[in-house]
Amino acid sequence: MVYIGIMETTSSTPMSGRKAQAARNDQVILQAAREVFVADPGAPISAVAERAGVGISALYRRYAGKEILLRKLCSDGLKLYIAEAEAALADDGDPWTVFARFMRRIVEADTHSLTLSLAGTFTPDEDLHRESAHAERLALEVFERARDAGILRPGLEVADLSMIFEQLASVRLGDEERTAQMRHRYLALVLDSLRLTSAGPLPGPPPTAEEIGRRWSTA
Amino acid sequence: MVYIGIMETTSSTPMSGRKAQAARNDQVILQAAREVFVADPGAPISAVAERAGVGISALYRRYAGKEILLRKLCSDGLKLYIAEAEAALADDGDPWTVFARFMRRIVEADTHSLTLSLAGTFTPDEDLHRESAHAERLALEVFERARDAGILRPGLEVADLSMIFEQLASVRLGDEERTAQMRHRYLALVLDSLRLTSAGPLPGPPPTAEEIGRRWSTA
DNA sequence: CCAGAACGGAACATTATGTTCCATGGTTTA
DNA sequence: TAAACCATGGAACATAATGTTCCGTTCTGG
């Protein structure tokens, strides 16, 4: 293919200029990477470039290697998770509404698709560990607030939420929109169950934070 | 490693004889294959041989190639599913008990780990299609019997069961036993929700058989 | 004791994929 | 306008992974 500068006509940011294009590529590449790796965690890096409509070198100029890119994606996911948790904590409306919305937002953000499928495929960063710990802390707060409000089924633990998010992330049917639809369907199902304050406790010991975290050690 | 005949001392089947050992290997290999591919659908065939404690040629003597082996595993899974469905249909005890047990058995049999993770990685057989259709038919009967008994939440469809099985199959934590424990935990959660006969309908159109089946077309 | 079945595992062929490299051609500044 | 600069595209390369074949070895049955 011949090298052709992309002539943008739409623009909130200045349309041309090499820097503008580069900045746009920053976004395009990350978006493509997310889509590609969510669909197939083992996808080759060239697939990301194709999806983004750029050459491979555009990728390597930004990220020194595949692992760096994966770390970046995970980090972004955690940041998103943290933001949603903080939003939930800042909201002092009806406890159940706040809790349910938090769950819905996380499912929509699809943070756990990467988290789950990428676990063990690369060595976590120091920053990643910090962010992960932070996310855990906030999630615990969100959970405890709901529990203390007495709106949750007895026996539930924070770690259960992680497992539920991962299960919902495993739902993948057709295009992105259809997938989102299906996930909402099963989230609704689970939420009704989480709400059963008079139900008996769940069988088996809940997952521990250690069990959940261990999967990140490079196999 | 030097070739050393395995001297079995325990035996329900005659302990020695090349044929006896071969028959035993038939089982060992299938078992190993199931374990390996459930843990990692993309695992190399050599990993199966190692796990089984046999050489590669023992594998190739039985299955002409990887795909044949995968087909065999899927077929076995479907047979298991069919057997459980038939057992449920033959049981005319309390409808909810029968239904819940069916769900539990399928989760325990872990049929959907393979089904899910292998979808699209090989071209389905003619026999596979037949068995799959049969399984679907029986599952529908099991489902309808439960629904007609009025014990299911309104709006549910058979296809929802498949999706739920797949979600539960995505739960994987530590060793096999711990994983089974966790799956029971979340199955219990979901079952409570499926039982909510007075709950509102679930959001979004349910998955169609076509949507679920399409994932088998070799990508 | 021999023919043949079953096996172990090295060797091979092929593919997949991460990474490097360089010519190309916009962009910008002097 | 001209030259330096820099992001880019994509071919080329190195390598690792893995499905499959092949051959010498070992054991059983007759």
Q: Please write the tens of the pLDDT for every residue from A52-77.
A: 999 999 999 999 999 999 999 999 99
Mean pLDDT over A170-177 rounds to 94
With contact defined as beta carbons under 8 Å apart, do B171 and B124 qualify? Answer: no
Euclidean distance between CA atoms B219 and B213, whole angstroms: 13
Residues of B in contact with A179 (CB under 8 A): none
Q: What is the pLDDT of residues B139-171, one digit of tens each?
A: 999 999 999 999 999 999 999 999 999 999 999
Lowest mean pLDDT among A154-163, B113-122, B198-207: B113-122
Residue burial A41-72, b: 16+ Cβ < 10 Å; e: rest: eebebebbbebbebeeebbeeebeebeebbbb
CA distance linking residue A81 with residue A190, whole number of Å? 20
Give the residue ranges of DSSP H helices in chain A: 18-39, 45-52, 56-62, 66-90, 95-109, 111-118, 126-148, 158-169, 176-194, 209-214
Of the pLDDT bands very low, low, confident and very high (cuts 50, 70, 90), residue A17 is low
Q: Quick check: B5 pLDDT over 90? A: no
Tens of pLDDT, residues B22-46: 889 999 999 999 999 998 889 999 9
Q: Is A210:B206 a contact under the CB 8 Å cutoff?
A: no
DSSP reduced 3-state for A215? coil
Q: Are the C-beta atoms of residues B159 and B208 closer than 8 Å to each other? A: yes
Q: What integer pLDDT is reported at residue A102 of this predicted model?
A: 98
Q: What is the pLDDT of residue B3?
A: 41
Residue A219 confidence class, pLDDT cut points 50, 70, 90 = low
Determine which of A13-22, A180-189, A205-214, B79-88 has the lowest per-residue pLDDT on average.
A13-22
Work out the pLDDT band at A3, boundaries 50, 70, 90. Answer: very low
Contact A203 B185 (CB under 8 A): yes
Q: Do B190 and A189 touch (CB under 8 A)?
A: yes
User: A205-216 pLDDT, tens per residue?
Assistant: 999 999 999 998
**CA-wise closest residue to A102 among A139, A153, A52, A157:** A139
Query: Do A125 and A71 meet the contact criterion of CB atoms below 8 Å apart?
Result: yes
pLDDT band at B16 (very low <50, low <70, confident <90, very high): low
B219 pLDDT band, cuts 50/70/90, is low
Task: Confirm if B172 and B179 have CB atoms less than 8 A apart.
Answer: yes
Contact A199 B192 (CB under 8 A): yes
Residue A18 has pLDDT above 90, yes or no: no
Q: Which DSSP state fits A17? A: S
Mean pLDDT, range B38-65, rounded to an integer: 95
Confidence of residue A1 (pLDDT cuts 50, 70, 90): very low
pLDDT band at B79; cut points 50, 70, 90: very high
Chain B, residues 136-195, CB within 8 A of chain A, namely: 160, 163-164, 166-171, 173-174, 178, 181-182, 184-186, 188-190, 192-194
Residues 6 or more apart whose CB falls under 8 angstroms from that of A63 comprise A69, A72
**Spatial separation of the C-alpha atoms in residues A156 and A202, rounded to whole Å:** 7
- Percent of chain A whose pLDDT exceeds 90: 79
- pLDDT at residue B111 in the model: 95
- Please name the amino acid found at residue B134: H
- The number of C-alpha atoms within 13 Å of A50 and in the hemisphere containing its C-beta is 7
The number of beta carbons lying within 10 Å of the beta carbon of residue A23 is 13
Closest CA to A159 of A217, A209, A198: A209
A28 touches strand D (CB under 7 A): no
Instruction: Tell me the pLDDT tens digit for each residue of A24-54.
Output: 899 999 999 999 999 998 999 999 999 999 9
Q: Band the pLDDT of A20: cuts 50, 70, 90.
A: confident
Distance from CA of B66 to the nearest CA of A (A): 20
| pTM of the model as a whole | 0.92
As a whole number, mean pLDDT of residues B77-100 equals 98
**Would you give the end-to-end CA distance of chain B in angstroms?**
40
* Per-residue pLDDT tens over the stretch A70-101: 999 999 999 999 999 999 999 999 999 999 99
CB contact under 8 A, B211 and A186: no
Q: For tokens 């002092």, what's the residue? A: A92
Q: Are A141 and A194 in contact (CB under 8 A)?
A: no
B170: CB partners within 8 A, 6+ apart: A116, A166, A167, A169, A170, B116
For chain B, the DSSP string reads -----------SS-S-SHHHHHHHHHHHHHHHHHHHHHH-TT--HHHHHHHHTS-HHHHHHH-SSHHHHHHHHHHHHHHHHHHHHHHHHH--S-HHHHHHHHHHHHHHHTHHHHHHHHTTSSPPPHHHHHHHHHHHHHHHHHHHHHHHTT-S-TT--HHHHHHHHHHHHT---SSHHHHHHHHHHHHHHHHHHHT-TTSPPPSSPPPPHHHHHHTTS--
CA neighbor of B32 nearest in space, from B11, B1, B63, B78: B63
Q: Name residue B214's amino acid.
A: R
Minimum-distance residue to C5 (CA–C1'): B18
Flag whether residue A199 sits within 8 Å of chain B, measured between CB atoms.
yes
CA distance A98 to B205: 25
Q: How far apart are the first and last CA of chain A?
A: 40
Q: Is the pLDDT of residue B12 over 60?
A: no
**B181 phi-psi bin (left φ>0, alpha ψ -120 to 50, beta other):** alpha
Q: How far is CA A91 from CA A86, A137, A145, in A?
A: 9, 17, 11
What mean pLDDT comes out for the span A107-121? Answer: 90
* A143 pLDDT above the threshold of 50: yes
